[in-house]
């Protein structure tokens, strides 16, 4: 009998370690011959810890499992969820990037290969950098870190740049509230990221890569560290990638709790050992990035989508999606939801379908009041806008952004003035301090919202002005996009800012 108990941070936070220990203890007491695999999470967080058992007739799931449930699972008397792939939340997905997450032992390179891993890299090793880059461009893959810039075009700039050294940097800072896809992919399938980064190195002519991890992810840090050792021993990274004679090595670095270090130029400064202040652009990091050298900075999901694109071809990937949003997006459904977790689907699903049909509405059972999409710099959406299809242009057109594709749901008890205040407060705490609109503007924003809360509705135009200044004058999207949640809350719920509904429209 084989047991799968996730080592994913969320599963552990809900008690997976105690469950794994109990399975081991009881099996030993009963003299059963079992194996426990610590897999990634299947992404259905309301079922975690989700245990799967393989009695040689396919895997069946149980969840959420507490240590006290283990005896019945061993007996076979516990109520199972059936095959996990058939649970509607899972069955409705298009798992391309997350195909192996939850399925395999994250640290087994053999299982990685048996399940489609390394096919893309082997193909890339037989191609020129130009050919690899063209494939990525044709796939339509856009940056998953927030800005949605076409990955192939960025790679082409770095590929063409002349330099003695180039770098690939994976942005695994994942600071947005409501997002955890980078974490889950790393904890559940780290070789997928490693393979993607090696391919990026081959494409642009870089021999060194860095993964910049957030310090808030101790489990992901551990898994990446272990997987890098396995990869190096197996010759997947190092002096000669899979014996090809081409070198590529990877190093992990850990941030130190600064949200702004997810911004790419601030991240580069941090990697160099400096204060994580934002750099003015130009020069683009693609031309003058890490230590002044041409650098690809990509989000972890962007790089993690490369192996499947190289394995199945650009046309396959581009056949999913909507308009200019090609492929799939691992959407993270969070906050006050009944069925929260990771839902990878082709672009195009309407927001309301995600919130109501996929996520089942709120956990509290109360009506949905608003959802924030795209992290702390993303706009709030009200149910009236739930027909907006999940895509870059579509969200832009609706006055928002998809960002790193986190959806945070709030029920009708949410205090939207309070949420607007929090957005400003967060910006003030996390501002790198380089530009005035962000550093000072955010502090003034908190004060102005406090005045409005105290009954001074006349301060609303001041808040709107301030937001304009922050939008136009900030160096990066921290100050520049903080107005999104603030102004959207004001526009959707003017009465909470002491205004009649018409007055704000």
Partner 1 sequence: MPDDLSMSLPALPPTEEIAALVAAKLNLEGPLLPILHELQETYGYIPENALGIMAEALNITRAEVHGVVSFYHDFRSRPAGRHVIKICRAEACQAMGGAALGAAVLERLGVEWHGTTPDGAITIEPIYCLGLCACGPAAMVDGRLIGRATFETVIEPIGERVK
Ligand X SMILES: Cc1cc2nc3c(=O)[nH]c(=O)nc-3n(C[C@H](O)[C@H](O)[C@H](O)COP(=O)(O)O)c2cc1C
Binding residues for ligand X, rule: CB under 6 A, are 143-147, 149, 171, 173-175, 260, 262-264, 297-299, 302, 476-478
| Closer of 203 and 359 to partner 1 (Cβ) | 359
147 binds, among partner 1, ligand X, none (CB under 5 to 8 A by kind): ligand X
Residues in 29-88 at the binding interface with partner 1, rule: CB under 8 A: 45-46, 48
Is 406 a residue that touches partner 1 (CB under 8 A)?
yes
C-alpha 336/C-alpha 345 separation (Å) is 21
Least Å from the CB of residue 309 to ligand X: 13
From candidates 125, 334, 449, 486, binder to partner 1 by CB under 8 A: 334
Is 410 a residue that touches partner 1 (CB under 8 A)?
yes
Least Å from the CB of residue 315 to partner 1: 33
Q: Can you list the alpha helix ranges (DSSP code H) found in 294-435?
A: 300-304, 306-312, 314-318, 351-352, 392-397, 416-430
| Closer of 277 and 435 to partner 1 (Cβ) | 277
Nearest to 437 by CA among 429, 428, 447: 428
Least Å from the CB of residue 158 to ligand X: 12
96 binds, among ligand X, partner 1, none (CB under 5 to 8 A by kind): none
12 binds, among ligand X, partner 1, none (CB under 5 to 8 A by kind): partner 1
Residues in 245-284 at the binding interface with partner 1, rule: CB under 8 A: 251, 253-259, 270-277
| Closer of 309 and 477 to ligand X (Cβ) | 477
143 binds, among partner 1, ligand X, none (CB under 5 to 8 A by kind): ligand X
Site stretch for partner 1 (CB under 8 A), options 51-59, 73-81, 328-336, 397-405? 328-336
Q: Count of CB atoms within 10 A of residue 372's CB?
A: 30
Query: What interhelical angle do 151-160 and 190-204 show, nearest 10?
Result: 50
Q: Are 6 and 41 in contact (CB under 8 A)?
A: yes
Q: In this structure, is the dihedral angle defined by the CA atoms of residues 96, 98, 101 and 102, taken in order, positive or negative?
A: negative
48 binds, among ligand X, partner 1, none (CB under 5 to 8 A by kind): partner 1
Is 426 a residue that touches partner 1 (CB under 8 A)?
yes
Least Å from the CB of residue 266 to partner 1: 10
Least Å from the CB of residue 369 to ligand X: 26
Q: CB neighbours of 335 closer than 8 A, spacing ≥ 6?
A: 178, 371, 372, 407, 408, 409, 410
C-alpha 207/C-alpha 215 separation (Å) is 25
Q: CB neighbours of 7 closer than 8 A, spacing ≥ 6?
A: 16, 38, 39, 40, 106, 187, 219, 223
Q: How far is CA 147 from CA 26, 142, 151, 264, 405, in A?
A: 50, 8, 11, 11, 11
C-alpha 373/C-alpha 403 separation (Å) is 7
Please tell me whether residue 473 adopts helix, strand or coil conformation. Answer: helix
| Closer of 154 and 183 to partner 1 (Cβ) | 183
3-state secondary structure 275-316: CCCCCCCCCCCCCCCHHHCCEEEEEHHHHHCHHHHHHHCHHH
Site stretch for partner 1 (CB under 8 A), options 91-99, 191-199, 428-436, 493-501? 428-436
DSSP string, 125-149: HTS-HHHHHHHHHHHT-B-TTTT--
Least Å from the CB of residue 273 to partner 1: 3
Query: What interhelical angle do 416-430 and 483-492 show, nearest 10?
Result: 170
| Residues binding partner 1 (CB under 8 A) | 9-10, 12-14, 45-46, 48, 174-180, 183, 208, 215-220, 251, 253-259, 270-277, 291, 332-337, 340-342, 363, 372, 376, 406, 408-411, 414, 419, 422, 426, 429-430, 432
């Amino acid at each position: 009998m084989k047991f799968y108990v996730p080592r994913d941070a969320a599963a552990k936070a809900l008690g997976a370690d105690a469950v794994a220990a109990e399975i081991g203890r009881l099996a030993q007491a009963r003299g059963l011959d079992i194996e426990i695999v610590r897999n990634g999470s299947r992404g259905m967080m309301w079922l975690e810890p989700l245990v799967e058992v393989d009695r040689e007739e396919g895997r069946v799931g149980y969840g959420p499992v507490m240590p006290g449930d283990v005896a019945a699972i061993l007996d076979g008397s516990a109520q199972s969820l059936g095959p996990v792939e058939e649970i509607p939340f899972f069955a409705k997905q298009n798992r391309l990037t997350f195909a192996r997450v939850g399925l395999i032992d994250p640290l087994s390179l053999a299982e990685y290969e048996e399940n489609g891993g390394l096919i893309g890299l082997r193909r890339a090793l037989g191609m020129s950098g130009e050919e690899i880059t063209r494939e990525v461009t044709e796939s339509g893959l856009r940056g998953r870190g927030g800005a949605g810039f076409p990955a192939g075009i960025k790679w082409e700039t770095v590929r063409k740049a002349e330099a003695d050294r180039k770098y690939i940097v994976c942005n695994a800072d994942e600071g947005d509230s409501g997002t955890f896809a980078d974490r889950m992919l790393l904890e559940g399938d780290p070789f997928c990221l490693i393979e993607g980064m090696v391919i990026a190195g081959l494409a642009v002519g870089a021999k060194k890569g860095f993964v910049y991890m957030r310090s808030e992810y101790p489990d992901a840090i551990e898994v990446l560290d272990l997987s890098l050792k396995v990869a190096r021993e197996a010759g997947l990274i190092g002096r000669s990638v899979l014996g090809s004679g081409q070198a590529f090595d990877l190093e992990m670095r850990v941030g130190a709790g600064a949200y702004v270090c997810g911004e790419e130029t601030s991240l580069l400064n941090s990697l160099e050992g400096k204060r994580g202040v934002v750099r003015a652009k130009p020069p683009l990091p693609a031309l003058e990035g890490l230590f002044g050298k041409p650098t690809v900075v990509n989000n972890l999901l962007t790089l993690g989508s490369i192996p499947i694109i190289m394995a199945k071809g650009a046309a396959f990937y581009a056949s999913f999606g909507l308009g200019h949003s090609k492929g799939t997006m691992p959407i993270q459904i969070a906050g006050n939801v009944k069925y929260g977790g990771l839902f990878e689907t082709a672009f195009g699903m309407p927001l309301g379908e995600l919130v109501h049909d996929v996520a089942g509405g709120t956990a509290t059972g109360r009506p949905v009041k608003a959802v924030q999409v795209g992290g702390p710099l993303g706009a709030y959406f009200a149910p009236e806008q739930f027909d907006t299809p999940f895509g870059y242009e579509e969200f832009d057109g609706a006055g928002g952004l998809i960002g790193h594709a986190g959806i945070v749901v709030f029920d009708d008890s949410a205090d939207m003035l309070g949420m607007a205040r929090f957005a400003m407060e967060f910006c003030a705490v996390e501002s790198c301090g380089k530009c005035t609109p962000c550093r000072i503007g955010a502090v003034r924003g908190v004060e102005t919202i406090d005045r409005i809360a105290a009954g001074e509705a006349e301060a609303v135009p001041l808040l709107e002005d301030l937001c304009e200044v922050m939008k136009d004058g900030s160096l990066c999207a921290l100050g520049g996009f903080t107005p999104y949640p603030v102004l959207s809350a004001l526009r959707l719920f003017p009465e909470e800012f002491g205004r009649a509904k018409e007055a704000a429209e």
